[in-house]
């Protein structure tokens, strides 16, 4: 995946956590939307600092705003899958030859090689994250010339499944890895590159128990509220728009020290 360097260009022995807000960089055109690249994959973007490109298993995280009446040009990626998560607003997605409505809370899975586009047919901005991963087969089969099984796109809202307790928060599994969860339905587990994609909510005054994962990195994407993140032996403030990157074997915990609920996505990938 490449070597890790810090902001001064010093080679790092161990990947370290990063907290980065979409507001930390300048906007750019992103397939017709206004986009902010929050984080990228290590070694794939020469000239980027470690803070900009720390990811190993996840390929990229971009925050975007699509203005009313605008649409992405339909396009596809030969060896990269996407999940579009709708933070606010309504619109539509074109998936292949079909068009479907989308709303807040929807996650739209777009498999590698699938033609897709997002369309804002409303009067308000459509706020969404575009999250990408490289499928596990891409290194040996970059053209996708293998039997991948079912590869339909999926639209699934976090409200579609039952809640569960997750390290002190209320969690909903939105989508999971197809190979890693063979007992789940395809709608529940279509992913080929990501390991998991979940919604978490925590009431004020609660906190996760400190924990870590071996062989799995995570990114906490804060969509509503604020609180604190324990990362290693340090605690940091977090708020809406922050992405907190957590390398494998890094102790971490979210702390809601306010009075209101905090809502965040957790993205995970095997490394």
Could you report the per-residue pLDDT of 13-35, keeping only the tens digit for each? 579 999 999 999 999 999 889 99
Considering the domain boundaries, does residue 6 fall inside one?
A: no
Considering the domain boundaries, does residue 128 fall inside one?
A: yes
> What is the distance between the alpha carbons of residues 82 and 160, in angstroms, rounded to a whole number?
20
Q: Are 251 and 210 in contact (CB under 8 A)?
A: yes
Would the CA dihedral through 7, 38, 132, 158 be positive or negative?
Answer: positive
Considering the domain boundaries, does residue 246 fall inside one?
A: yes
Average pLDDT score over residue span 43-71: 95
> What is the distance between the alpha carbons of residues 115 and 244, in angstroms, rounded to a whole number?
30
Take residue 194 and report the two structure tokens written for it: 């990501």
Q: Residue 7: pLDDT above 60?
A: no
Q: Residue 203: pLDDT above 50?
A: yes
Q: Note the pTM of the prediction, 2 decimals.
A: 0.93
Q: Residue 144: pLDDT above 80?
A: no
Considering the domain boundaries, does residue 4 fall inside one?
A: no
> What is the distance between the alpha carbons of residues 169 and 163, in angstroms, rounded to a whole number?
10
Considering the domain boundaries, does residue 105 fall inside one?
A: yes
Q: How many structural domains comprise the chain?
A: 1
| CA–centroid distance for 183 within its chain | 23
Considering the domain boundaries, does residue 7 fall inside one?
A: no
Considering the domain boundaries, does residue 238 fall inside one?
A: yes
Average pLDDT score over residue span 162-186: 95
Question: Residue 6's pLDDT is what?
Answer: 47
CATH code at 115?
2.60.120.10
Question: Residue 4's pLDDT is what?
Answer: 53
Considering the domain boundaries, does residue 120 fall inside one?
A: yes
Range of the domain at 204: 18-270
């Amino acid at each position: 995946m490449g070597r890790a360097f810090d902001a001064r260009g010093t080679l790092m022995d161990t990947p370290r956590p990063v907290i980065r807000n979409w507001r930390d960089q300048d906007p750019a055109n992103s397939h017709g939307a206004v986009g902010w690249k929050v984080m990228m994959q290590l070694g794939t973007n020469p000239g980027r600092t470690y803070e900009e490109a720390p990811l190993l298993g996840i390929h990229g995280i971009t925050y975007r705003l699509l203005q009313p009446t605008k649409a992405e040009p339909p396009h596809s990626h030969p060896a990269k899958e996407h999940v579009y998560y709708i933070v606010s607003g309504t619109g539509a997605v074109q998936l292949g030859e079909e068009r479907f409505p989308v709303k807040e809370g929807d996650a739209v899975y777009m498999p590698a090689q699938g033609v897709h586009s997002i369309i804002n047919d409303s009067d308000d901005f459509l706020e969404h994250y575009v999250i990408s991963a490289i499928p596990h087969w891409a290194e040996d089969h970059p053209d996708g010339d293998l039997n991948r099984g079912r590869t339909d796109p999926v639209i699934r809202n976090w409200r579609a499944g039952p809640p569960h307790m997750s390290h002190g928060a209320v969690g909903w599994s939105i989508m999971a890895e197809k190979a890693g969860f063979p007992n789940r339905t395809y709608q529940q587990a279509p992913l080929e590159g990501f390991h998991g994609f979940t919604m978490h909510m925590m009431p004020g005054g609660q906190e996760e128990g400190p924990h870590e994962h071996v062989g799995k990195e995570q990114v906490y994407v804060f969509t509503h509220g604020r609180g604190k993140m324990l990362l290693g032996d340090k605690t940091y403030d977090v708020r809406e728009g922050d992405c907190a990157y957590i390398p494998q074997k890094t102790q971490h915990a979210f702390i809601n020290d306010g009075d209101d609920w905090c809502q965040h996505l957790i993205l995970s990938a095997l490394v």
